[in-house]
């Protein structure tokens, strides 16, 4: 059996599968050797990578529309604003017909059922909001650029608000709680679990103010988006493609990447365990994935790794989209069983290192991958996926099919019209500001000034306390010891982790 035949045999699946394209071998495209990915393994996650301009976006569109046709809902993060065309039939033309003929595709112009969303309503689409409470201290710390100590302090603030019934719906609620905990009245509230230093509170407040000034306040509040909306199918049985329009927030990359993580983590919390299904419940495409991992702490990456590892058993597949595999931490990359690697550039020494690192992430192949990856054309990729048995397929150079929907954006007015016509518009369009921490703290009675005159008993008691404080007690000596401080830090960290587990991927609202 020749090399091409061996590779083609690795993609001869018996069950439902998505058609990616046709095998490339020795410079020839072989339409009788289709390269496919089984529907059953798309909850095993994947990676779409490649240099700018190599066709990653069209690959997303190709996979998304085939998933929709198979009844699987899809989520797409549209960072550049060119994925809205999935809702409209594609435009026929010479290049489309040529590509279809090369790969053996029966191309038909088709639009797919689509919902358009926008973060906080900035841009076109149905507004997507989250409450500060459900967004959680870890994700918020990532957005604000807080260091680990400040992140733990923010965790304590969330813990306090939760215990006291102070709802954190928007940023002004969080600012109000921080301000209260550093006031004369509230300063002692956290003393038993680590306390909140004025300096740390100042950093958090300044970061929140700067964040608010960038327009981020629009993303936090109510009505909070129910991520279950992403799991719907249309009346004709096709999966709905949810397109989150992000061009209006391109200057806030950490915000939108972290917000995507919130969507995924919230799904993780709400969905039941289902194991391996005949088809996934949802496939989630995480574009510009390198932004999520940039400057991320180890704890944050560990949380992402755990979410990605476990959400598979809830029927959700996650595809990270970025330029090179090295943009994704190794522990996360190890979870991505389906790979579509577009061309890489090798113009600089750094490019050469990235190329060599990418080659090492692939199984042994019949190709010279270093040469192949620098010579691929637009709309071509090196593919390896999981077979129906869960084993990696042979590496296959592939000429990809042409999407059947419009390869480009639809007009913004059309997106607005589609959003207003949606059954979800009335539920999410209008922001709501209910009573929460800000109003509750503002309504607290002010403490009255105590008389400066002390009763004789109070004076005696004060003198007695002063005498006892002159020499540290046994308890104070223990509290001041290095061992105790280390233990306190550990307890503080554990409290933060508990909040992370309850808020990073879990919302306590009742649905």
pLDDT in tens, 464-496: 544 444 444 443 443 344 433 433 333 333 333
Question: DSSP letter at 377?
Answer: P
What percentage of the chain carries pLDDT values higher than 70? 87
Residue 6 has a pLDDT of 93
The enclosing H or E element of 332 equals helix 330-333
3-129+230-415 domain in CATH 3.40.50.300? yes
Mean per-residue pLDDT for 361-368? 90
pLDDT on residue 276: 84
Q: Strand 241-245 and strand 338-341: pairing?
A: unpaired
- Mean pLDDT along residues 15-28: 95
Instruction: Note whether 316 and 352 are within 8 A (CB).
Output: no
Buried b (16+ CB within 10 A) or exposed e, 280-307: bbbbbbbbbbbbbbeebeebbbebbbbb
Between the CA atoms of 385, 386, 391 and 393, what dihedral angle is there, to the nearest 10 degrees? -30
- Whether 224 has a pLDDT exceeding 50, the answer reads yes
- Peptide bond between residue 223 and the one before it cis (omega within 30 degrees of 0): yes
Residue position matching structure tokens 């921490």: 437
- Residue 486's alpha-carbon distances to 474, 475, 480, 482, 483, in angstroms, are 18, 16, 10, 6, 5
What are the tens digits of pLDDT across the range 60-69?
999 999 999 9
CA distance from start to end of the chain: 57
H or E segment and range at residue 421: helix 412-421
Could you report the per-residue pLDDT of 244-281, keeping only the tens digit for each? 998 888 788 878 888 888 898 888 888 999 988 999 99
Please tell me the predicted confidence (pLDDT) of residue 480. Answer: 45
- CA 58 to CA 443: how far, in whole Å? 54
Q: At what angle do helices 137-144 and 482-499 cross, to 10 degrees?
A: 100
- Which one is predicted more confidently, 137 or 283? 283
101-110, 159-168, 383-392, 465-474 — which is least confidently predicted? 465-474
pLDDT of residue 299: 75
pLDDT, residue 184, reads 87
Dihedral sign for Cα atoms in the order 284, 290, 293, 295: negative
Sheet holding 74-78, edge to edge: 28-38, 17-25, 396-400, 380-384, 338-341, 46-49, 316-322, 282-286, 74-78, 241-245, 114-119, 126-128
CA dihedral 294, 300, 306, 312 (to 10 degrees): -50
Residue 202, H or E segment: helix 198-213
CA dihedral 408, 410, 415, 416 (to 10 degrees): 130
Element (H, E) at 476: helix 474-479
pLDDT in tens, 406-434: 999 999 899 999 999 999 999 999 999 99
Residue 2 confidence (pLDDT): 66
What span, in angstroms and rounded, lies between the C-alpha atoms of 120 and 241? 19
Decide if 342 contacts 381 (C-beta within 8 A): yes
Tell me: the pLDDT tens digits for 300-359?
788 888 888 999 999 999 999 998 898 999 999 999 999 999 999 888 888 898 899 899
Question: What would the two tokens of residue 95 be?
Answer: 């290049």
For the beta carbon of residue 332, count every other beta carbon within 10 angstroms: 21
Residue 287 · residue 256 · CB < 8 Å: no
For residues 315 and 271, is the Cβ–Cβ distance under 8 A? yes
Residue 501 clears pLDDT 60, i.e. is over it: no
Q: Between vectors from CA 249 to CA 177 and to CA 125, what angle results, nearest 5°? A: 100
pLDDT for position 398: 97
pLDDT higher for 179 or 506?
179
pLDDT, position 316:
95
Segment 171-183, tens digit of pLDDT: 999 999 999 999 9
The residue among 389 and 291 whose pLDDT is bigger is 389
Q: What is the model's pLDDT at position 195?
A: 77
pTM: 0.84
Domain limits, the chain:
3-129+230-415, 141-219+448-504
Distance CA 84, CA 418 (A): 11
In the chain, the percentage of residues whose pLDDT exceeds 90 is: 58
Burial code (b: 16+ CB inside 10 Å, e: under 16) for 133-150 equals bbbbbbbbbbbbebeeeb
């Amino acid at each position: 059996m020749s090399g091409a035949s061996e590779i083609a045999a690795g993609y001869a699946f018996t069950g439902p599968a998505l058609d990616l394209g046709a095998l490339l071998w020795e410079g020839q495209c072989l339409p009788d050797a289709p390269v496919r990915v089984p529907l059953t393994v798309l909850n095993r996650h994947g990676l779409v990578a490649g240099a700018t301009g190599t066709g990653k976006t069209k690959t997303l569109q190709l996979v998304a529309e085939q998933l929709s046709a198979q009844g699987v809902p899809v989520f797409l993060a549209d960072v550049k604003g060119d994925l809205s065309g999935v809702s409209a039939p594609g435009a026929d033309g010479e290049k489309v017909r040529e590509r279809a003929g090369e790969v053996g595709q029966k191309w038909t112009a088709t639009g797919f059922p689509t919902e358009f969303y926008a973060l906080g309503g900035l841009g076109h689409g149905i507004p997507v909001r989250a409450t500060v409470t459900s967004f959680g201290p870890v994700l918020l710390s990532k957005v604000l650029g807080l260091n680990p100590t400040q992140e733990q302090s923010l965790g304590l603030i969330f813990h306090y608000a939760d215990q006291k019934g102070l709802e954190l719906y928007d940023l002004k609620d969080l600012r109000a709680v921080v301000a209260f905990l550093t006031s004369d009245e509230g300063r002692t509230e956290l003393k038993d679990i680590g306390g909140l230093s004025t300096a740390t509170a100042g950093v958090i407040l300044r970061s929140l103010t700067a964040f608010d000034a960038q327009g981020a306040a629009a993303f936090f509040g109510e009505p909070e988006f129910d991520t279950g909306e992403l799991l719907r199918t249309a009346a004709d049985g096709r999966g709905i493609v949810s397109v989150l329009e992000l061009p209006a927030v391109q200057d806030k990359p950490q915000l939108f990447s972290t917000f995507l993580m919130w969507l995924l983590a919230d799904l993780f919390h709400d969905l039941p365990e289902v194991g391996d299904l005949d088809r996934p419940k949802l496939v989630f495409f995480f574009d510009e994935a390198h932004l999520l991992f940039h400057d991320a702490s180890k704890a944050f990456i560990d949380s992402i790794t755990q979410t990605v590892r476990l959400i598979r058993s809830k029927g959700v597949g996650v595809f990270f989209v970025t330029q090179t595999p090295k943009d994704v931490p190794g522990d996360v990359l190890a979870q991505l069983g389906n790979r579509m690697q577009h061309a890489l550039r090798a113009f600089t020494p750094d490019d050469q290192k990235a190329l060599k690192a990418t080659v090492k992430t692939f199984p042994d192949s019949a190709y010279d991958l270093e040469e192949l990856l620098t010579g691929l054309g637009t709309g071509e990729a090196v593919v390896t996926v999981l077979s129906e048995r869960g084993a990696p397929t042979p590496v296959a150079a592939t000429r990809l099919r042409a999407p059947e929907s419009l390869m480009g954006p639809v007009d913004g007015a059309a997106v607005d019209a589609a959003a207003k016509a949606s059954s979800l518009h009335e539920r999410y369009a209008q922001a709501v500001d209910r009573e929460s921490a800000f109003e509750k703290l503002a309504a607290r009675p002010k403490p009255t000034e105590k008389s400066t005159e002390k009763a004789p008993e109070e004076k005696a008691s004060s003198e007695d306390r002063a005498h006892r404080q002159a020499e540290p007690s046994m308890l104070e000596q223990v509290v001041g010891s290095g061992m105790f401080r280390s233990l306190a830090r550990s307890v503080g960290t554990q409290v933060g982790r508990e909040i992370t587990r309850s808020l990073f991927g879990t919302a306590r609202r009742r649905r």
